Amino acid sequence: MVTDVVRLKTSDKKAGGFLHTHIGCHKYGIVPNALLDYARDSVMLGVFDSGFGGLTVLKPIHHLLPTYSTIYLGDNARTPYGVRSQEEIFQFTLEGVRFLFDQGCPLVVLACNTSSAQALRKIQQEILPIEYPDRRVLGVVRPASESLTKLGSRVGIFATPATVESAAYIHEMYKLNPTIKVTHVTCPRLVELIEAGKHDTDETNDLIKCCCEALLDKDERIEEVLLACTHYPLVESIFRRHLPESVHLLSQGQIVARSLESYLTRHPEIDSRLEKSDGRTYFTTNGDDISGLASMFYGEEIEFLHVNLGSS
């Protein structure tokens, strides 16, 4: 059971800045009851990630759709997902989605490539029609694949082992462009280093250098490179340092934000249900105070509330 609660910063006009609430027991741990009631009533856009990485997607969403209220959930306690089994990834992702649905979110974006590659389809096809027919879950693989196939014919992808194993990007891009050449390289331990705050160390630099050399050894004529893990843009400058200037380096934040904007335009029945009052709510499964590190990555102050998911 959770014993510490981190104060949550939000722009909730009802609460007036910081939420000061009574704390009660809940299936997700010890959570301010008023906050959970507020979230359910607000019908926010949900964003889920295995840790900090989804902040690189959330920030462009906030920039492009500034009035949309959001709930962010980072499963920092069980990160990284990229080295776990497909069943674990599915189960953890489903627990995160269900938590956000429990807060009233009609739409959830999986800002985690591993979750999008290993769990999204099963959630969409087997869970939503039976349990949540009026809810939707979107991923990041499809919009990124569409952008890549429009930009070049020789594409490199840095990703977690689970994302590479799924071959999700290869399948999506080949459907869009059967002649495209796709080269994958895994970046083992990189997510762990970022989550530990070791993003600016020799260890991280050396790891990324090796990954870039491995990619260029496989295809020295690479034109476009995608950082296919939402943690990786947090160290994008190091990737840039070790890739030729001629290589176009992409991260997913802007791509996903534009895709989400387009989706909401095409689905007014979902858009009309979303609150547009600038609400910002952040949850983590990590019992430690990660707000300082998250704020550094996001570029603005963020404070998290701790919740339990399953065995986290």
Indicate which residues carry an active-site annotation. Answer: 112, 229
Q: Are 224 and 152 in contact (CB under 8 A)?
A: yes
Q: Are 73 and 8 in contact (CB under 8 A)?
A: no
Total Cβ atoms within 10 A of residue 206: 11
Distance CA 163, CA 82 (A): 7
Distance CA 309, CA 312 (A): 5
> Which residue, 288, 174, 184, 173, is CA-closest to 229?
184
Query: One-letter amino acid identity for 208?
Result: I
Hey, what are 123's tokens?
A: 């959630």
Distance CA 114, CA 44 (A): 23
The three-state secondary structure class of 17 is coil
Q: Are 94 and 291 in contact (CB under 8 A)?
A: no
Residues in contact with 243: Cβ distance below 8 Å, sequence separation at least 6, in sequence order: 212, 216, 225, 249
